[in-house]
């Protein structure tokens, strides 16, 4: 193992921490671009509480509302325009992963010369990463992406229907205020999709990382076991703040870089899913629940010992030998059954997707994430045909 690690985000975690928003934002600016989604924060009172806290600390507010799930490039441009016009010096993201991702790119857009899409890989010869951004403060209202404490953002270019990602040092939020009470009103389906998303963040590195990272394996298993224990409670009773808190903490840790340290892992399941949500606007976590088990069955053929370990450690299945393919298959079945038990779809047809565009999804996946050998990085690396095969098996 050889690595460097840096996560500069100041994390404030716990029920009631929204009240510290003004104090935290005040350390970075005097006029905030307050970015929100389609209206949930207005309906449940979170918006008013956030504005009160900001105003109490003497911070002026300009609003950018209406960030849609699977946020679009034009929405980012609209928000950046508001920030520029209003002279904002800090960006506050109040919402789910979509709001947070859009906010990060809005914050960088003010300093980025030229076409914003150039910072996202989409088959171009070279790309320019953003180097500067306004300070960003994230306040997640949904436990899922981990965007609150990482330097990544996922945006869709609606003209080409391509969804791509950027990670850059300047996109790390200065502060993340993670208040599980804000997730109390998340509907059951979105709660379940968030649980699938956070688990998939750690299964990606668990299955695709380099060999010889036993501590990272244990971190990943801890996140998954915690999500499988507390997730169903949060789905069953959204007002169970203890369950909400455990799920949200797991979602933060799952993608703040800690679990992935040293694994050098790519994210093949994510890359395939992004091409589905780009075309069909489905919830990211629902798409992962469909692609994930199908991909696992494909990957287990080349790496049965890894999946056997997953089965043994997560589901207590006994192994006849380290590469026990039967136990590996049973563990994947158990995982899929868990996803179904909390209300996730696991077939493409359940999210309204048929077989007509499978080649297109595979091509788009490779457009965004093509390795030097022309394949999708992962264990195993996947050709276009392999991606189609996995998607076909999920029909
Ligand atoms: O828009 P509003 O009205 O707020 O409603 C949202 C939206 O309809 C609703 N919601 C959020 N908080 C709520 C609530 N409803 C009731 N009460 C609340 N407290 O939930 C719906 C989905 O929101 P969204 O932000 O789209 O969900 P999520 O957090 O799952 O974010 C998904 C996006 O993040 C990207 C995904 O690709 C997708 O675009 N990702 C970002 C990552 C990152 N930056 O690190 C990593 C992830 O793997 C992922 O790819
Ligand atoms: Zn994800």
* Containing structural domain, residue 73: 10-183
Q: Is residue 1 in a domain? A: no
Strand order, beta sheet including 31-35: 10-13, 175-178, 136-140, 90-95, 31-35, 60-64
Indicate whether 223 and 178 sit together in one domain. Answer: no
Q: Of 147, 166, 183, at which residue does a domain stop?
A: 183
Task: Measure 213 CA to ligand 1 centroid, in angstroms.
Answer: 31
Domain check: are 135 and 194 in the same one?
no
Q: Are residues 48 and 136 in the same domain?
A: yes
CATH code, domain with 86: 3.40.50.1970
User: Sorting pLDDT into bands at 50, 70 and 90, what band is 251?
Assistant: very high
- pLDDT classification of 279: cutoffs 50, 70, 90: very high
Domain termination residue (choose one: 159, 183, 207): 183
Q: Is residue 319 part of a domain?
A: yes
The answer to whether residue 69 sits within a structural domain is yes
pLDDT digits (tens, 9 = 90+) for 16-36: 999 999 999 999 999 999 999
Q: What is the pLDDT of residues 171-210, one digit of tens each?
A: 999 999 999 999 999 999 999 999 999 999 999 999 999 9
**What is the spatial distance between Cα 285 and Cα 192, in angstroms, rounded to a whole number?**
8
Residue 1 confidence (pLDDT) above 90: no
Domains held by the chain: number: 2
Look up the CATH number of the domain holding residue 204: 1.20.1090.10
Indicate whether 169 and 212 sit together in one domain: no
Question: Considering the domain boundaries, does residue 254 fall inside one?
Answer: yes
**Domain contains 83:** yes
Cβ contact 346:237 at 8 Å: no
Phi, psi of 262 (to 5 degrees): 75, -5
Residues near ligand 1 (Cβ within 6 A) = 37-41, 44, 69-70, 95-99, 101, 141-142, 144-147, 150, 152-154, 182-183, 185-186, 190, 194, 197, 255, 270, 274, 284-285
Separation of alpha carbons 252 and 147, rounded Å: 8
Whether the pLDDT of residue 378 is over 90: the answer is: yes
State pLDDT tens for residues 111-163: 999 999 999 999 999 899 999 999 999 999 999 999 999 999 999 999 999 99
Contacts (Cβ under 8 Å, ≥6 apart) of 254:
146, 198, 199, 201, 202, 223
Q: Identify whether 2 is part of a domain.
A: no
Pair (242, 287) in one structural domain: yes
* Index of the ligand 1 atom closest to the CA of residue 201: 48
- What is the value of pTM for the model shown? 0.98
Strand partners, 136: 91
Q: Residue 129 corresponds to which tokens in the numbers above? A: 């990463």
Q: How far is CA 298 from CA 47, 242, 386, in A?
A: 44, 37, 9
Q: Are residues 38 and 140 in the same domain?
A: yes
324-364 pLDDT tens trace: 999 999 999 999 999 999 999 999 999 999 999 999 999 99
Q: Are residues 258 and 297 in the same domain?
A: yes
4 part of a folded domain: no
How big is the CA angle at 342 (ends 337 and 347), to the nearest 5 degrees?
55
Mean pLDDT of the chain: 98
pLDDT in tens, 44-71: 999 999 999 999 999 999 999 999 999 9
Ligand closest to CA 274: 1
DSSP state of 168: -
pLDDT at 296: 98
* Percentage of the residues of the chain whose pLDDT score is greater than 70: 100
Residues 354 and 245 occupy one common structural domain: yes
Q: Using one digit for the tens of pLDDT, what is the confidence trace for 208-238?
A: 999 999 999 999 999 999 999 999 999 999 9
**Ligand 1 pocket mutation, candidates 76, 145, 161, criterion most atoms within 8 A of CB:** 145
> Is 138 in the same domain as 217?
no
CA 360 to chain centre: 23
253 and 178, same structural domain? Answer: no
pLDDT of residue 215: 97
Of all atoms in ligand 1, which is nearest to the CA of residue 96?
Answer: 25
């Amino acid at each position: 193992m050889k690595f460097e690690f840096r996560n500069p985000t100041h994390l404030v975690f716990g029920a009631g921490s929204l009240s510290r928003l003004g104090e935290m934002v005040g350390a970075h600016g005097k006029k905030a671009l307050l970015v929100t989604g389609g209206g949930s924060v207005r309906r449940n009172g979170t918006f008013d509480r956030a504005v009160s806290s900001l105003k109490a600390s003497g911070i002026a507010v300009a609003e950018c509302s209406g960030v849609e799930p699977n946020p679009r490039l034009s929405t980012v441009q609209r928000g950046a325009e508001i920030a520029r016009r209003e002279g904002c010096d800090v960006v506050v993201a109040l919402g789910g992963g979509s709001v947070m991702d859009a906010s990060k790119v809005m914050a960088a857009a003010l300093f980025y010369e030229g076409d914003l899409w150039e910072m996202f890989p989409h088959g171009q010869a070279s790309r320019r990463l953003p180097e500067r951004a306004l300070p960003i403060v994230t306040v997640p209202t949904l436990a899922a992406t981990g965007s609150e404490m990482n330097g990544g953002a996922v945006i869709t270019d609606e003209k080409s229907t391509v969804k791509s990602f950027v990670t850059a040092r300047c996109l790390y939020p200065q502060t993340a205020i993670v208040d599980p009470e804000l997730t109390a009103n998340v509907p059951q389906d979105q709660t379940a999709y968030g649980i699938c998303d956070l688990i998939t963040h750690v299964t990606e590195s668990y299955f695709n990382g380099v060999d010889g990272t036993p501590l990272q394996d244990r971190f990943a298993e801890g996140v998954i076991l915690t999500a499988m224990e507390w997730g169903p409670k949060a789905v069953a009773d959204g007002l169970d703040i203890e369950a909400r808190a455990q799920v949200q903490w797991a979602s933060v840790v799952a993608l703040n870089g800690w679990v992935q340290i040293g694994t050098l892992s790519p994210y093949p399941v994510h890359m395939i899913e992004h091409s589905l949500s780009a075309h069909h606007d489905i919830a990211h976590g629902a798409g992962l629940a469909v692609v994930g088990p199908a991909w696992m069955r494909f990957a287990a053929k080349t790496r049965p010992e890894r999946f056997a370990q997953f089965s043994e450690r997560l589901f207590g299945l006994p192994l006849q030998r380290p590469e026990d393919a039967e136990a590996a298959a049973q563990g994947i079945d158990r995982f899929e059954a868990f996803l179904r038990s909390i209300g996730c779809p696991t077939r493409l047809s359940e999210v309204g997707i048929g077989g007509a565009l499978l080649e297109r999804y595979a091509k788009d996946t490779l457009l965004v994430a093509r390795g030097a050998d022309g394949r999708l990085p992962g264990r195993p690396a996947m050709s276009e045909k392999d991606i189609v095969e996995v998607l076909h098996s999920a029909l």
